[in-house]
Structure 1
Amino acid sequence: MFDDRFETILRSVAELPDDLVITGEQNLRNELGVDSLKLMDLIVNLEGEYSVELSDDVSADVSTVEELWLEVSRAAD
């Protein structure tokens, strides 16, 4: 579903343990503890890594890992 770069950035910014299995259905805020500041940091890091620009609404529009990955994927196309 998502690639290693995406997972590495998510783990780093969200400060997730290495043994946690990340799935697309997980809620960024409720299950992974990504607050609004971490989400903005995550977006900035993903934009830099993938050389994309995500919409200003992405922080309000996404709630799951998969939704965020789809936004990155669409922007990269």
Structure 2
Amino acid sequence: MSDVLDEKISKVIKQIAELPEEFEVTGQQNLRQLGIDSLGMIDLVMHMEAVLNIKIGEDSINNFATVADLQRYVRELS
């Protein structure tokens, strides 16, 4: 992930999934395989909204299977 937005998304994912700072988050990774369950998804969305000052629709949460899905959605809002 190269741009600032992706870095912010990666940082939030690492925080919610309790991954080490040096862990590399890539677009192909499945959020559930990173350890983010349904409650974690709610936390992830809340943190993303706070950090990026955006509003993510509740109905969109189920559409985020991979990191790339989340990145795409956030870019559309930006």
Compute the TM-score of the two structures, normalised by the length of structure 1: 0.86
* Offset at residue 53 of structure 1 (A): 0.8
Q: What is the identity percentage for the equivalent residue pairs of Structure 1 and Structure 2? A: 33
In 2: Cα distance, 1:9 partner to 1:65 partner: 11
Equivalenced residues, count:
75
Aligned to 2:75: 73
Compute the TM-score of the two structures, normalised by the length of structure 2: 0.85
* Residue 14 of structure 1, aligned match among 14, 17, 39: 17
In 2: Cα distance, 1:51 partner to 1:21 partner: 24
SS at match of 2:47: helix
Q: CA RMSD in A?
A: 1.3
In 1: Cα distance, 2:6 partner to 2:58 partner: 23
Unaligned runs of 5+ in 1: none
* Offset at residue 55 of structure 1 (A): 1.7
Aligned to 2:63: 61
Deviations 1:14-70 (A, max 9, x none): 1012232211000001x2010011110010110111111112222111100010111
Which structure features the higher share of helix residues? Answer: 2
